[in-house]
A = this chain, B = another copy of it.
Amino acid sequence: MRDEAIESGDQSATATKWVYSFGGDGTEGNASLRNLLGGKGANLAEMARIGLPVPPGFTVSTEVCNWFYANDRQYPADLTSQVDEALQRLEGSLGKRFGDPSDPLLLSVRSGARASMPGMMDTVLNLGLNDETVEGLAAITGNKRFAYDSYRRFIQMYCDVVLGVDNGLFEDELETVKRDSGHRLDTDLTAEDWAEVLRRYKALVADALDEPFPQDPRAQLWGAMGAVFGSWMNQRAITYRRLHGLPADWGTAVNVQAMVFGNRGDDCATGVAFTRDPATGENVFYGEYLVNAQGEDVVAGTRTPQHITLEAREAAGADLPSMEEVMPDLYRELADIRLTLENHYAEMQDLEFTVESGTLYILQTRTGKRTATAALKIAVDMANEGLISQEEAVRRVDPAALDQLLHPMLDPDAEREVLAKGLPASPGAVSGKIVMSADEAERLTELGERVILVRDETSPEDIHGMHAAVGILTSRGGMTSHAAVVARGMGRACVAGAGELALNVKEGTLTARGRTLNTGDVITLDGATGDVMVGAVPTIEPELSGDFAVLMGWADRFRKLGIRTNAETPHDAKVAVSFGAEGIGLCRTEHMFFDADRIVNVRRMILAETPDESRAALAELLPLQRKDFADLFRIMAGKPVTIRLLDPPLHEFLPKTDQDMADVAEAAGVGVASVRARVIQLAESNPMLGHRGCRLGITHPEIYETQARAIFEAAVEVGGADQDPVTAEIMIPLAFSKAELDLLKKVIASAAEEVEAQSGVTLNYHVGTMVELPRAALRAGELAETAEFFSFGTNDLTQTTFGISRDDSASFLLEYERLGVIEGDPFVTIDQSGVGELVQIAMERGRAARPDLNLGICGEHGGDPASIRFCHEIGLDYVSCSPYRVPIARLAAAQAALSLDEGRLGSA
């Protein structure tokens, strides 16, 4: 109804309320009207309601903003009368009149959107001053200097924001006066100097605009309001909204508020405070203030701000007195307000205050930003204090912030020289020497060096070097490139796809932004931001507090999704279990084939001329694989272990250079020519869509047969009478049809029967498939007749659904994001409307065929909070992610469950 009225412009039937007063004689809004009044306006109203000393004023609602843009930048007809009315009420509250030459009411005019958009939109202060009222202000405050300075600030600000006069011109005039008067600082200027500044400013305005600076306070007010509404669509604001995903139709409100001054003398002050320590989360009052100052002086750094509490001053060993000492009564009033606000909002607040002539005013309160550590501590503390529920505590911590708690981060105070920027592929901040080969990385690490492996891209052959290095840097590849996936799995810091870097591996040089580094030079990676820095930048080690375990425990109580991990080494599996993984959702067996003591036999198998030769080579690998699986089964102690049979194309295991081919030929006891021939024969144009996954299992059944046998023998070995029985889930990759699964399930079953016959043990295993091709999703009903579980391989499913190779996507996906073609990287957060629909189709059809079908996701999306929420909403059984993301996944899953519950309650 309201919208219709706005659109038709017909206000006769239902008069729309556009303006909401707060403070003084009556408050019309409250905190729940954030959408209508913006964050600032809603909180001002709320504070006024609970009796806090808020300078009175009124808020022009966000609906005016929308009306304004829907109607060619005009205002609703009845806005004028509503503003007038609010202004009168304000005048009444304060006993002052707007434009009164003897004691003028002065106003601030500020924007205030639903979400905070710091610095994006415009503000005008001291509005209401003109040639007459400035004299009244001077008289009433007895401070000409203050009055003239206030007026010239207003002219400068108003011209900048409303009239579009170049601010630099004013600065020039000010400099001239300073030079002429021989003063260096603003504070040195006398009242007469400011009067001169004012004369020059007014001349400047008259010159630039061909008319004098507006003297009518009401015209000033409407000009300022128009400028604030106009700033909603300035380029800066548009860009900010795009980057933060804020819709344009939220609009901004305009807050018109009586001015209070912290700079009228030594009984004045201004400050900012947090109700708890935003760095540590400690339950102490934390803040800074300055006597006789304005808000911007606290943050500008020209004067050193002083502590608010004595305790903080003493802890810091600071000389300047605290507010608690200087203004003890006002401090006590502020400390009470701190408690009132926190109790009222049940959230840590960031507040601004001003003391004008001995009276305390609260200008703003909002939820305080905080570090990850603080977020965790505050949430747990507040729940323990009974201020919030455990559910709310779980909701309060951003899962992504946990990354900071699990990895070292750069010392925020350290100097840094950024050499290049890439994708933040795996978090952690590390420094080390540049190496350009995996072998070198391993060699130097054994000598005790910390190294960073720098490559155009990595391949499975580099695993040992990636493991040895403290960080990995690549010039190519995206968030799910080999380097990124493996680094996340190992918990190594990684910056991927830093396209600015030009590598010359032969020369051992690395060039970017006109600067060339050599192998052995030290660089620093910040895997959380994608920055690559020259030299060693100091880092801060993370510390896991007890709060972490407490919050995780609460999260586990609320979440519905199971959380598994993608792990294939004992180390990864142990890390994941320590982080709370409930099973392995993806054990990639190819990693078991690349070890130095195995690759020879893998290559013998590939180079074999007959199935028998191939089997002989595989037989050599069997005991090694059996041990790998046995280790994992022991660590997982009965938790399910999903093992994906060999997936990559065979050519990945073959050498690429002539020298390597010669080495391989010698090791495998065959001619170089036959190695080369096999390399050429196996080469593929698009290996991602090539002879891999179960296609290998079908053309080389002996490979899967051997893997299955190794799994089953390990299960027999570990699953003894006094131990937890092994739960093996054998996963067939890249299937697109039931027929593939049928063929391979037979191969697996026959290996199981043989092992059962030999051992006398009855095996507990399931055979399922990785749903990672669109056709598999569409034919899921048939697949589920054979498969006992599905694990969605959303990396490959994203690649095939979009037709995008993650290895090649960097060249255009960034541009796509910049242009807004895609909202985000679909390899980071699952594309719900494309890939997600296929996942849902597969779930529905799969469950229709097999109601107890177990459904999980093992792509990189399994560790992404937004994707986890989607997985929860559609009803998957579990997500699986890299070990270091397990806590993130637990928290995100809990939040998804809580938020869905909330949604249900809301709609009920």
Contact = CB atoms under 8 A, between A and B. Distances in A.
Interface string A789-814: 00000001001111111011001100
A822 interface: yes
B686 A808 contact: yes
Contacts of A682: 811
A619 to B, nearest CB: 24
29 contacts: A502-B677, A685-B687, A685-B688, A685-B805, A686-B686, A686-B687, A686-B688, A686-B805, A689-B800, A690-B805, A690-B811, A691-B808, A691-B812, A698-B815, A698-B816, A736-B801, A736-B803, A737-B821, A739-B819, A739-B820, A743-B819, A743-B821, A774-B800, A774-B801, A774-B803, A774-B834, A774-B838, A775-B803, A800-B800
Interface string A756-800: 000000000000000011110011000000000000000010011
A802 B805 CA distance: 15
Contact of A778 (B772, B812, B819, B833): B833
B684 A808 contact: yes
A796 B774 CA distance: 13
A288 interface: no
B689 A775 contact: no
Contacts of A779: 833-834
Contacts of A831: 775
A734 interface: yes
Given A685-B805, A686-B689, 14 more contacts: A685-B807, A686-B687, A686-B805, A689-B800, A689-B803, A695-B816, A698-B819, A698-B821, A699-B812, A699-B815, A743-B819, A773-B803, A774-B801, A800-B803
Contacts of A695: 812, 816
Contacts of A801: 736, 773-775, 778, 800
A320 B673 CA distance: 63
A226 B95 CA distance: 117
Contacts of A800: 689, 774, 800-801, 803
Interface of A: 502, 677, 682, 684-691, 695, 698-699, 734, 736-737, 739-740, 743, 772-775, 778-779, 796, 799-805, 807-808, 811-812, 815-816, 819-822, 831, 833-835, 837-838
Nearest to A499: B681
A690 B808 contact: yes
A785 to B, nearest CB: 14
Nearest to A799: B689
Given A800-B774, A838-B774, A811 B689 contact: no
A679 to B, nearest CB: 14
A742 to B, nearest CB: 9
Contacts of A691: 808, 811-812
A846 to B, nearest CB: 15
A807 B807 CA distance: 19
Contacts of A822: 737, 739
A802 B773 contact: yes
Copies of this chain held together in the complex: 2
Contacts of A677: 502
A832 to B, nearest CB: 11
Contacts of A736: 801-803, 834
A808 B779 CA distance: 23
Contacts of A815: 698-699
A689 B690 CA distance: 12
A736 B837 CA distance: 14
Nearest to A688: B686
A685 B774 CA distance: 21
Contact of A821 (B684, B688, B740, B811): B740
A644 to B, nearest CB: 15
Given A691-B811, A820-B739, A834 B803 contact: no
A774 B803 CA distance: 8
Contacts of A816: 695, 698
A805 B739 contact: no
A111 to B, nearest CB: 29
Contacts of A687: 685-686, 808
Nearest to A696: B812
A770 to B, nearest CB: 11
Contacts of A775: 801-803, 831, 834-835
Contacts of A685: 687-688, 805, 807-808
Q: Which of A698, A808, A833 has the most CB of B within 10 A?
A: A808
Contacts of A837: 778
Q: Which 6 A-B pairs have the closest CB atoms?
A: A689-B805, A686-B805, A775-B834, A774-B774, A685-B807, A690-B808
B743 A689 contact: no
Contacts of A811: 682, 690-691, 699
A873 to B, nearest CB: 18
A619 B771 CA distance: 47
A690 to B, nearest CB: 4
Contacts of A686: 686-689, 805, 807-808
Contact of A803 (B684, B772, B819): B772
A529 to B, nearest CB: 24
A196 to B, nearest CB: 51
A803 to B, nearest CB: 4
A908 to B, nearest CB: 31
Instruction: Give the residue among A502, A804, A822, A837 with the most B Cβ atoms within 10 A.
Output: A804
Contacts of A739: 819-822
A352 to B, nearest CB: 41
Nearest to A812: B695
A808 to B, nearest CB: 4
A674 to B, nearest CB: 12
A673 to B, nearest CB: 11
A789 to B, nearest CB: 20
A804 B690 CA distance: 6
Nearest to A739: B821
A493 to B, nearest CB: 24
Contacts of A821: 698, 737, 739-740, 743
A800 B833 CA distance: 17
Looking at A699, A774, A801, the one whose CB has the most chain B CB atoms below 10 A away is: A774
Contacts of A690: 805, 808, 811
Nearest to A502: B677
A250 to B, nearest CB: 21
A821 B799 CA distance: 24
Nearest to A777: B774
A643 to B, nearest CB: 21
Interface centre among A684, A687, A775 (most CB of B within 10 A): A775
A705 B863 CA distance: 41
A686 B736 CA distance: 20
A422 to B, nearest CB: 15
A796 B803 contact: yes
Contacts of A699: 811-812, 815
B834 A778 contact: yes
Contacts of A838: 774, 778
